[in-house]
Structure 1
């Protein structure tokens, strides 16, 4: 598998993405479970105005998800300078520069949209980033990801904190010193780490980590994603800085986070991870709230 990842990284970005698009379409056809979940989540989002548009979005999304898989190898095993060079434009970077000039720590909130692995590697190259990492359940994949992420790492060999209470303490210490971190806000958290909050009109168990980190560190929050351009032409990074803190009320904070993720997804709907089981109830979590109309 390591040889496969290195092979994918050796390809041009255009060829890597072409292969990924083919594989993504194949999986969409061959996996009824993935296909049904993608269509179900897209349909519930209200982004498609007709069944034809829904089918088109689902097919385009399948290709984009395939690109996301093959570009993971590109992001992790290509020389860091090659990865940085794929970012051909930045929309909103001036807001980041202003925050950094004022000495602000920044929490970059990056959903599963576009080239999120590329976005993380790019930010890593420009800012003092410390990110949390939860080990993958598949051991060999975890080993590959760790090996790739340690390429170009900090002088002490790592820019990664474990996804534990000790890791949260490391993040807070880093942010209070003026550092930055990257958080994926749309992963389903574990018991005691989330709140049910509306996401595209449905209750989704949403992590409270973003709000807790900001409240404890007074860091700024910047939402960002890497828009994947056609034919391997690179990426455009989009940044949106929140002007006001999320606040200490957890339901309000999580709803604001989800609303911002929705805003980004609406701008680039085919590149979101619609096949992810975003609305599942994790073990130990309370049941989702019952809509008033369904009682």
Structure 2
């Protein structure tokens, strides 16, 4: 099942020297005191949020749709908080990839691990349901520290050297190889063998296998693949969510979804969105609001991102 790409002699050539330099820089950044790294990342993120006007517009629209109860000033503050979280997330990714275990153990915790253990007690495989959060990489590291072995689902990266390292980082930490998103046979086999598979269905979108169901009360095109994959793999679905709260990391597991999958794919997709909403509310600014989550509105509804 190991799909890791091989190391190539070409990686030592001049074409990849900038990539090696970038990796070396990330390694060095991972050794900064963590509070300093986070503050640097937040500052850079704040500047980025001012420079990238189109992404700031997307973020503001998403927050207006999902949190209509907030006044404009509060939402603008959340936009800034989001970009600061994005900046910190870049440093947190470096920390998650490179930092030794001893630097992380006392800076975070895993809550509700008994829910995952209960779901796997009968030998079932598990889809680790989550979303795209700025703390995703460092959160995955805390899963590893808690002894959770899992396959990460991935999309190949255009830079082969980065792709090579991403595979090895994840496999060396999680204990299991990454699996390509488009290889259904490998995903199903892993689940049927009783493994955990990381799964974030909130960005990759196949419009032919999705339905419009509520997400923060907004009709949102949502994948139906979660229930299909759970059925094919005879797997349980256990939600988990990473967050940085008051400078500490917390990964929260919820109980496995009951009666899932059902006979109603739309109802299943709506349940997945409700679970994501619950995770997002733990640390709202740390969700990827700069992603155009509502770019496929139902027929007859306007594009919310159109500049009027």
Deviation at 1:78, TM superposition (A): 2.1
Deviation at 1:238, TM superposition (A): 0.8
Equivalent residue for 1:237?
251
More divergent stretch after superposition (143-152 vs 8-17): 143-152
Equivalent residue for 1:59?
80
More divergent stretch after superposition (179-188 vs 101-110): 101-110
- Unpaired runs of 5+ in structure 2? 1-21, 302-308
Distance 1:109 1:47, change over 3 A: farther
Count of matched residue pairs: 278
Distance 1:83 1:189 in 2: 36
Distance 1:178 1:96 in 2: 12
Equivalent residue for 2:217?
201
Equivalent residue for 1:254?
269
| 1:215 and 1:247 in contact (8 A); partners too | no
Distance 1:289 1:222, change over 3 A: farther
More divergent stretch after superposition (184-193 vs 248-257): 184-193
Normalised TM-score (structure 1):
0.84
Deviation at 1:159, TM superposition (A): 1.2
Distance 1:229 1:263, change over 3 A: closer
Distance 1:237 1:87, change over 3 A: farther
C-alpha deviations, 1:106-137, integer Å up to 9, x for none? 11111113511123233345233122210234
Distance 1:143 1:193 in 2: 30
Normalised TM-score (structure 2):
0.81
| 1:211 and 1:248 in contact (8 A); partners too | no
Let me know the Cα RMSD of the aligned residues: 2.4
Distance 2:172 2:99 in 1: 9
Matched, 1:274 2:289: yes
| Structure 1 residue matching 2:258: 3-state secondary structure | coil
Distance 1:87 1:209 in 2: 35
Distance 1:139 1:191, change over 3 A: farther
Distance 2:103 2:241 in 1: 15
- Unpaired runs of 5+ in structure 1? 282-286
Equivalent residue for 1:211?
227
Equivalent residue for 2:59?
38
| 1:110 and 1:116 in contact (8 A); partners too | no
